[in-house]
Amino acid sequence: MTIPRRQLPGIVLACLLLLPASLGAQREGGTLRIYLARHGESDANAAGRVSGWQDVRLTAKGRQQAEVLRESLRAIPIDAVYSSTLSRSRETARILRPDTPATPLDSLKEKSGGRFEGLPAGDPELLRRLRDPDDALDGGESLNQLTGRVRRGLDQIRREHPSGTVLVVGHAWTNRAILRVLLDLPAERAFAVDQGNDELYLIELGAGGRPRLWKLIREGNLGDL
């Protein structure tokens, strides 16, 4: 199978998903392009622990990851930048686009991990319960609750930018929910998304057309897909 690819200034993208016109976020007007980044490695990522709403910071590696990604985005015109209100997202946004102040939105915060925050991310009970989209993890948020919150944030972004190009710097679970909303993914498909701290997606939402999901790849390395 030939994977569709496109070359933009300083960036190579491969098409991961092309939806039927009847699915995904339907829009009027021009094309909206959303570059979707995840924050760089955080202290909790490095320790293999659940951070959720804990306001952990980037590691030196996380800042370096953001600096590398910044070079990939340098030649791309960006109309606006959005981050969550958590430090690791805001710091990544500042590194990625130092000349464009990010708008922090509570609606883009990471999924609350409830009583599991601070515990190992590989906790067997946590991994089992995460697969239930209605499980709020004892005082945290369920995937369905997160999706509703993220949907409100996306509605705000799309009202302010009916077309053009925006950069959103989110979190692992936040970005799963963003893709779930924009591409109309079932919960199990959203759960399977595994975006690295240094990975970039592009979602294209054309007027009346089919939503497209692209992923940044390194030239000559389809192993990144």
Hey, which residues are catalytic here?
39, 110
Listed in sequence order, the residues at least 6 apart from 204 whose beta carbon sits closer than 8 Å to its beta carbon are 31, 32, 33, 211, 212, 214
